[in-house]
Structures are given as structure tokens and as C-alpha cells.
Amino acid sequence: MTPERSSGARARGATLLLSTQWLRYVLQIANIVVLARLIGPADFGVVSLGLAIVGIASVLGDFGLSLAALREKSLSQAQKSNLFWINTGIGAVLALLVAAVAVPIGAAFGDGRLVGVVLIAAPAYLLRAAAVQFLVELNRRERFSRLAASEVGGDAAGIVAAILLALLGSGYLALAVQGTVAAVVSLGWAVAAAGWRPGLPRRVEMGSLLTFGLSTLATHAAHYVTTNVDTIVMGAWYPSAIVGFYSRAYQLVMLPLLQVAAPLTRVVLPRLAQGADSLPALNEALARAQRLVSHVLLAVTGLLVVCGAPLIDVVLGPDWLPAMQFLPILAVGTVFQTTAYAYYWGFAALGRSGALFLSEIVGRVPMVLLIVLLAPLAPAGIAWGVVVGQVLIWASGTFVFAPRAGLEVGVLVRASLVPLAVSGGATLVAWGLDLAVFGPWPALLRLVCLGAAWLVAAAAIMAVGGRGDARLIAQTLRSMRPRRSA
């Protein structure tokens, strides 16, 4: 393949993958909407608490080996097979450990429902670990349609199973079974689609893969612990209904980041790793990606903040309105996460896993301490602890670790300025109109008017100060169109 065709193939792969992620986003929103009408906040809270406690097993089961395999320019059959067996072995041990701690967890929090939640979740950690290298194989071969089908198929099956059980009155058990059903379907689909089968373990060079995997594992584990300690501490201090409100707000805010930026790494990282020998080219590619991703994620974040109350009222129901005490606060943290995402890509492309870990841990240790200290004061104190931690992570990357890695921080920061101005300005305009005019209106009419006001304001700001970004977005969209056959 010529470089131009390779770039075009990647662009079309990115289009497919992002389209799929938006489909997954829609499925997750539909899932939240339907199940919120069938299951109360208390049941949501107990499942969120249980999965937050044992969910670290999903990170440990991956062991950082998916990212290690994804960034390698070539892998032998023996290396791929060894990676599969390592992931599967770790997953089996973790599944047994999770099942073993189910009863102690229920006793520690004084809620017997946690026992069922943890036991139902346990098999999923083996299934997900076994699927890791099949999904990596699909990714490395750029079989994005099959990769997408595996993920969407798993999500859809889990959602259907949860809704059916909820309709039968299973309550929190319907929520708990969702992840395990999704893992079964995703694994089966990935195995069938990958066209690859692992051989028996063999002695072969694995040192660089395991070293990179172990170092990134530390980063991912620290990220998981600090992004779930808030739910665990909330469950220790407050009723499960409050945990349910917090988890719904957190999910609404984080879904765009999880469904866009994280999966886009699969397309972006291999290309960045191939060009990591040239720092100027790497920085240029990172700045371009930062501009594009920031516009999407910050737009969704701004809309969620200004439309949050009527959106929750219309979509989830008035019983879920207390979630608004958390949503705007958590949205501030996602702004800093979005503007720091280019650092993550840069560190990974350069193989600087140590810098990635240190830049994260500098902010995450204070985050945990603040969450624990602020929790007794008020539930919203936990959300503010999360935000301060995200600010510190962004600052450590911007002023310390990214410059040391050779990343052009000034260029990357400037790449975020127009998206921040567009989203922030439009949010302020819509918020002002809500205070002055829309506030007393019925929820649905208020939601429509707020969304329209935000979009009009964003378009006006982009036309005045963001024409360069508008051209970049248009060029990117054109490059992602499927080519017509001659």
C-alpha cells in the first residue's frame, strides 16, 4: 500500500470506529433511559458500588498487554499466543478471587445484595481477559468492522438481557448480569471474526512486551482506583440511592470520553508510534488530533451542563433530578481530561510509560486524599475532590512531564483554545438565556430551546474565531468519506 492509501484506509477505519462508538453511545443512553424507568436509584447505587470495588480485575486482566501489542510494529505467532495465555491465566485467577471476596464485601458494607452483584460479575473478568488478544488482532489487521461488531454485539446483548430481567422484576440483578452477558457475546464474536487461533505457549522474546505492559498496567490501575474510589467512599458514607444519583451523573459526563477518545486510541496510536522517530511530525499529528477530539468532547460536555436538568427530567424522570448536584461539578473535570488527552497519546507513542505513570500519580494521590477528607462534609465534596485531582494531572503533564518527553506543550495547549472558547462561550450564552427566559418553561420545551441556543451560539463563535478549526473539521470529514469504486 502507498502511504496515501494507508492514510486513507486509516481515516475510513477511524470513521467506522467512531460511528460505531456513537452507536454504542446511543445504546448506552437508551440503556440508561429504559432501566432508569424500571429500576430505582438504590438498586443502581448498589450495583455501581459492587462493580467499583471489584472492577479493578478488568484492568489487571488486560495487564497492559493490549496497548503493548497494539504499538508493536510486528508480532510473531508465538508472541501473540503467549500474550493470549498470559491474559487468560491472569483472568482466570482474578475471576476466582472476585468470587471469593463476594461474601466479605457484602458483610463489610452491610448489604447482602452486594454478594449477588459480585458473584454474577466474576466470570466476566475471565471472559474479557481471554478476548483481549483477539480484539488486538482485529485492530492490528485494521478489520474495524469486525472489531466494531464484536463490541456493539456484546453491548446490545447485555442491554437486552438487562431489560428483559428488569421487566421480570429482577431489580439490581438485571443490572449486574449485563456486563457478563456482554463479555460472553463479545468474546465469541471476536474469536469467530479474528481468523487467528493461539498456539501452545513457547519460549520466545517477551521482555519488551511485558515491561511495557507492566508499566502501563501501573498507570491504568492507578487510574481505575482513583476513578472508582469516589463511588466506594460514597457508598461507605451515604445511602445507596445517593450512590445511584452520583453514578448516573458520572456516567453521563464520562460516556463521551469513553466512547470517543479512548477507542480512537486504537486508530491513532499505531500511526503515531510509526512516526515517533520524528518529534516535529509527532507533535503536529498530536495537535491536529487534539483540536478535533476537543471540539467533539467539549461540545458534548457543554451541552450536558446547560441542558442537564431538563435532560434528566425528560429522559430519566424527575426522580433522578438530584443527580444534578454532581453533574456540573464532574463536567469541569472532564474538560481538563479532554485537554490532557494528547499527552497520553504522546507518552504511549514514544514508549514513555514511566512519564505517563508519574504524570498521572502526581494528581491521583491528592485526589484520593481529598475524596476521603471531603466525603463526610457533603456528597458534592467527593465530586470536587475528583475535579481537583484532574486539574493536578493536567498541570503535571503540561508543566513537567510532557516537556521532558519532547512534546510541544505550547502547541498542544493552543490547539485546545478554540474548542474551549466555542464550548465555554456557547454554554454561558445558553445558561444566561435559561436564567432569563427558559427556566420556568416545561422540561421538554426548555431542553429543545437550550440545545438550539447552544448550537447557534457555538456556530457564531466558530464563524468569528474558529475558521481554521472549521476548515480542519471539514477536511477531516471529507477524508473519511468512503471512496467510490471506479
Reported pTM: 0.67
Quick one: which of 73, 86, 202, 184 has its CA closest to 133? 86
Please work out, in degrees rounded to the nearest 5, the angle formed at the alpha carbon of residue 405 by the alpha carbons of 404 and 407: 100
- pLDDT score of 445: 92
Domain positions in the chain are: 1-205, 239-486
Count of H helices and E strands in the chain?
21, 0
How far is residue 413's CA from residue 214's CA, in Å, rounded to a whole number?
A: 30
- pLDDT score of 485: 44
The tens digit of pLDDT for each residue in 20-64 reads 666 766 777 777 777 777 777 877 788 888 877 777 666 666 666
- pLDDT score of 4: 38
How far is residue 359's CA from residue 278's CA, in Å, rounded to a whole number?
A: 23
How far is residue 464's CA from residue 319's CA, in Å, rounded to a whole number?
A: 41
| Spans in the chain with pLDDT lower than 50 | 1-7, 484-486
Q: What is the largest CA-CA distance in the chain?
A: 70
- pLDDT score of 457: 92
- pLDDT score of 1: 29
Angle between helices 409-433 and 327-339 (to 10 degrees): 150
- pLDDT score of 19: 62
**80: Cβ–Cβ under 8 A, 6 or more apart, which residues?**
69, 133, 137, 196, 198
Is residue 401 within 8 A of residue 359, CB to CB? The reply is yes
Q: Count CA atoms closer than 13 A to 238's CA, side-chain side.
A: 26
